[in-house]
């Protein structure tokens, strides 16, 4: 394990980044991308479960938290360009990318874009609850449906708590972001193409109907390095229900980077 510390400057408040426990002299940065509509604060509970020399940098996309009034991105090229430009000073040195569901697609596409431009690559890519780009969707698209059917679709994937769906005032604020994020997830596709020169670890919930565990090995086509897949108890949001088990696996990866 390298003991080299990150020497690049870590800024103070950054609208794209939520740091639950800033570690300015960390050896490694862990960039985390949440699921559709998700807040980066969901990674707050990870602080004590990961190595003490890792700095969590949870990415706050437009349309949530203190960026709720900013329109969420609906198209991949614009989103990726904005992320790369906004995080350019941080995507250096030693770092790892993690994402769940739509966030995993963002993490993968960002790694692919960095590779294509010859920029520094992550030491590892951690992908949870996400099909590979060439694998077809397993459930019908909902991002284009009228409100009631859209909300019913959200209930079906158990991603939005019932009390949130019942709060019409809050849903009025959140609905555009959810639609935009889910549109990104549902329109995402592609081919394996040139494999990335970084290891990939994929996580799946044993009962996940959106990204079934038997298709996670498809991610092996996307790397020329090591690949591993782990199946954990739970449905699509096993990131919450099996958090401890997943973090145990993530910790091992981070310690080896």
Q: What is the C-alpha separation between 185 and 178, in angstroms, rounded?
A: 11
Phi, psi for residue 164 in degrees, rounded to 5: -75, -45
Evaluate if residue 159 carries a pLDDT over 80. Answer: no
Q: What is the C-alpha separation between 45 and 217, in angstroms, rounded?
A: 28
Asked whether residue 104 is assigned to any structural domain, the reply reads yes
pLDDT tens, 130-151? 999 999 988 888 999 998 888 8
How many residues can be counted in the chain? 257
Evaluate if residue 72 carries a pLDDT over 60. Answer: yes
242 labelled catalytic? no
Evaluate if residue 5 carries a pLDDT over 50. Answer: no
Asked whether residue 1 is assigned to any structural domain, the reply reads no
pLDDT tens, 76-102? 999 999 999 999 999 989 999 999 999
Asked whether residue 123 is assigned to any structural domain, the reply reads yes
The active-site residue, picked from 2, 101, 158, 189, is 101
pLDDT band, residue 173 (cuts 50/70/90): confident
pLDDT band, residue 14 (cuts 50/70/90): confident
Asked whether residue 4 is assigned to any structural domain, the reply reads no
Question: Which alpha helices (H) appear in 117-167, and where do they start and end?
Answer: 147-156, 162-166
Asked whether residue 145 is assigned to any structural domain, the reply reads yes
Q: Total domain count for the chain? A: 1
pLDDT band, residue 158 (cuts 50/70/90): low
CATH code of residue 121: 3.40.50.1820
Predicted confidence at residue 191, as pLDDT, reads 81
Asked whether residue 181 is assigned to any structural domain, the reply reads yes
Asked whether residue 192 is assigned to any structural domain, the reply reads yes
Query: Residue 31: which domain range?
Result: 17-256
Asked whether residue 3 is assigned to any structural domain, the reply reads no
Predicted confidence at residue 119, as pLDDT, reads 94
User: What is the chain's mean pLDDT, rounded?
Assistant: 90
Residues 6+ apart with CB under 8 A from 71: 62, 63, 176, 180
Q: What is the mean pLDDT of residues 224-228?
A: 97
Q: pTM for the whole thing?
A: 0.92
Predicted confidence at residue 86, as pLDDT, reads 93
Q: What is the C-alpha separation between 193 and 138, in angstroms, rounded?
A: 22
């Amino acid at each position: 394990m390298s003991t080299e510390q990150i020497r690049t400057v870590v800024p103070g408040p950054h609208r794209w980044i939520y740091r639950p426990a800033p570690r300015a002299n960390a050896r490694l940065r862990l960039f985390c991308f949440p699921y559709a509509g998700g807040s980066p604060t969901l990674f707050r509970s990870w602080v004590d479960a990961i190595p003490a020399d890792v700095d969590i940098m949870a990415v706050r996309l437009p349309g949530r938290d203190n960026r709720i009034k900013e329109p969420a991105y609906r198209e991949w090229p614009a989103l990726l360009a904005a992320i790369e430009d906004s995080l350019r000073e941080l995507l250096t040195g030693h770092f790892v990318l993690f994402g769940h569901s739509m966030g995993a697609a963002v993490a993968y596409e960002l790694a692919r874009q960095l590779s294509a431009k010859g920029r520094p690559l992550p030491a590892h890519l951690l992908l949870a609850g996400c099909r590979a780009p060439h694998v077809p969707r397993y459930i019908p698209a909902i991002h284009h449906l009228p409100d009631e059917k859209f909300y019913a679709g959200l209930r079906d994937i158990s991603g939005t708590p019932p009390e949130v769906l019942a709060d019409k005032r809050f849903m009025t604020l959140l609905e555009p972001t959810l639609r935009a994020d889910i549109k990104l997830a549902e329109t995402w596709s592609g081919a394996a193409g040139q494999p990335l020169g970084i290891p990939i670890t994929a996580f799946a919930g044993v009962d996940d109907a959106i990204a079934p565990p038997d298709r996670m090995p498809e991610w092996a086509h996307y790397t020329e390095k090591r690949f591993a897949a782990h199946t954990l108890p739970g449905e699509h949001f096993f990131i919450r229900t099996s958090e401890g088990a997943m973090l145990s696996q993530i910790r091992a990866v981070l310690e080896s980077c």
